[in-house]
Copies of this chain bind each other. A is one copy, B any other.
């Protein structure tokens, strides 16, 4: 309890640590809420907006977006992707075009209207985000980036299979009955 000879006792360091972790949670919550509001404001669900942004990003990068690529990126099935494309072509945000080299596939393109709407709603936000990033002291920036990247790498290794329960149920694989 009493002060020690160290300039920064252990509990002081911990306050920083707790602050950063709380800030991380705060950010995540804010980001999630923003996405929900944004997609609701565009009269679509969160996945559809993510898809739209993926297609636009692909176009900006000079690449072609296919339904298969969309399914992979969004971690949904190709069947769900078909429905998603039906929704977004129906709303006038996307269009299906023939694939130049693979006649099984097709190319997904964003309409001018979609480009405009997304740019309109996100340009200001992205600008301000960069501004906030620029407000970080130059010599602290590598630490910020490092912290986030390392945290992401850690999360990629967590939450996998349970270390205890041996996978409770497996609907398939009939052994005795049936």
Binding site for B on A (CB under 8 A): 8, 13, 16-17, 19-21, 23-24, 26-31, 33-35, 37-38, 41-43, 120-121, 124-125, 128-130, 132-156, 158-164, 168
Q: Is the CB of A136 within 8 A of B143?
A: yes
User: How far is A29 from B56 in the complex, measured between Cα atoms in Å?
Assistant: 19
Q: Are B132 and A26 in contact (CB under 8 A)?
A: no
Assembly CA distance A22 to B125 (angstroms): 15
Residues of B within 8 A of A20 (CB): 133, 136, 141, 144-145, 148
Pair A30/B156 contact, Cβ less than 8 Å: yes
Bound CA span A52–B115, Å: 40
**B residues less than 8 Å from A31 (CB atoms):** 28, 152, 155
